[in-house]
Amino acid sequence: MKEVNILGIESSCDETAAAVIQDGRIIRSNIVSTQIEIHKKFGGVVPEVASRNHVVDINRVVEEAIQVWGRPICEIDGIAVTYGPGLAGALLVGLSTAKALSFALNKPLIGVNHIEGHIAANYLAFAELKPPFISLIVSGGHTHIVEVLGYNEFEILGKTKDDAAGEAYDKVARAIGLGYPGGPLVDKLAERGRNVIDFPKAFYKDDNYDFSFSGLKSAVLNHINSAKMKGESVVAEDIACSFQETVVDILLNKALKAVKDRGYTSLVLSGGVSANSRLRRKMEEDCEREGITCYYPPLSLCTDNAAMIAAAGYYHLIEGYTSDLSLSARPNLKIGQR
Ligand code: KG4
Ligand code: ZN
């Protein structure tokens, strides 16, 4: 059978990325240009600054992805692009580039949901992985438990009612004086801390698959403020460790419940927070104890990239889900929406 090569383009937040993926599974090129250093001084992503830098980077990144692939761009079989969720101005940069290429090359345009892309990152790492399965998706903007019924069929079982897990990591990092993005820094600091602070676990025992992290974030801030008022010193390492243990326990408790309730035998982790060392380790331990097979992407595919968008795009294309040039940015696009 003829091979299918998809060019993926991603610009939903602060990474400008392009990649070429063969048959939805093989990485032929994967270029990511991150703006982390630019946004660091603001303590978070500034949308207008992100859009402008995508404009500066996008052509170079796409050219590099094609160059590394090593074939002429006209041999691409389709162009997959993130059209939501994400920052409107940032999404438009990738989208305009993808539409221009689709028109000029006369190749299908494939709109991809960023969150569905995160799930597809696992298809690049695990050749044997096929739906159905349960996926725990944890990123800076999203925390979902999803039943992945097919490559393009999803049922949301639960989600966060307020802050996403990654957002909680970033806010706690700021409160204890770490930089941006906070997740990796809290992860690192936690290695030297003790799990000695009893933080709240919202919805922990509830019979649903939902999360809430804003109370936990407030509890961390209250802990710091009350220690300061009493003139006591705060041990940032212990806060990081206790916070992390709480988040990881909350996430895995509900994810494993979903796997067991729905009669599955595998759990697939995805999204930026899947890079978290403690989450990866505890997931392996818990899954092994319960007889569940667990999957998580290699670190290079955890945070935003275009390889995952091209992988998801491949499965859209072969099942007939292509877009036309009227495709526009959908900042609040929900998983499974077309
Ligand atoms: O998926 P992603 O790159 O962007 C979104 O789609 O949101 O996720 C970024 C999030 C940030 O909140 C970042 O702090 C978090 O993932 N993150 C981590 C780690 N690495 C990245 N959180 C905890 N531990 C990590 N090692
Ligand atoms: Zn993401």
DSSP structural state of residue 211: B
Q: What is the 3-state secondary structure (H, E, C) of 102-143?
A: HHHHCCCEEEEEHHHHHHHHHHHHCCCCCCCEEEEEECCCCE
Angle between helices 236-261 and 182-190 (to 10 degrees): 100
Provide the pLDDT for residue 295. 98
Report how far ligand 1's centroid is from the alpha carbon of 139 (Å): 5
* Average confidence (pLDDT) over 10-15: 96
Measured CA to CA, the distance from residue 315 to residue 152 in angstroms comes to 7
Percentage with pLDDT > 70 across the chain: 100
The closest-lying atom of ligand 1 relative to the alpha carbon of residue 182 is 14
What's the pTM? Answer: 0.96
Task: Give the number of the ligand closest to the Cα of residue 275.
Answer: 1
Could you report the per-residue pLDDT of 26-49, keeping only the tens digit for each? 999 999 999 988 998 888 889 999
Q: Which amino acid is residue 12, in one-letter code?
A: S
Q: Which amino acid is residue 307, in one-letter code?
A: A
pLDDT for 179 beyond 90: no
Report how far ligand 2's centroid is from the alpha carbon of 191 (Å): 25
What residue ranges line ligand 1, CB within 6 angstroms? 13, 139-141, 166, 169-170, 181-184, 187, 271-273, 275-276, 303-304
Question: Mutation test of ligand 1: which of 33, 273, 299, 301 has the most ligand atoms closer than 8 Å to its C-beta?
Answer: 273
Output the CA torsion sign for 323, 327, 329, 330: negative
* Average confidence (pLDDT) over 70-83: 98
Contacting residues for 50 by C-beta, under 8 A, at least 6 apart: 13, 14, 35, 39, 87, 89, 90
Of the pLDDT bands very low, low, confident and very high (cuts 50, 70, 90), residue 80 is very high
pLDDT for 52 beyond 80: yes
182 annotated to bind ligand: no
Of the pLDDT bands very low, low, confident and very high (cuts 50, 70, 90), residue 220 is very high
Contacting residues for 36 by C-beta, under 8 A, at least 6 apart: 14, 180, 181
142 annotated to bind ligand: no
Provide the pLDDT for residue 44. 86
Provide the pLDDT for residue 181. 87
Which residue, judged by its Cα, is nearest atom 8 of ligand 1? 272
Task: Give the number of the ligand closest to the Cα of residue 138.
Answer: 1
220 annotated to bind ligand: no
137 annotated to bind ligand: yes
Report how far ligand 2's centroid is from the alpha carbon of 225 (Å): 32
Task: Give the number of the ligand closest to the Cα of residue 299.
Answer: 1
Tell me the two tokens of residue 239.
């806060």
Report how far ligand 1's centroid is from the alpha carbon of 72 (Å): 34
Which residue, judged by its Cα, is nearest atom 1 of ligand 1? 272
Which residue, judged by its Cα, is nearest atom 23 of ligand 1? 183
Percentage with pLDDT > 90 across the chain: 94
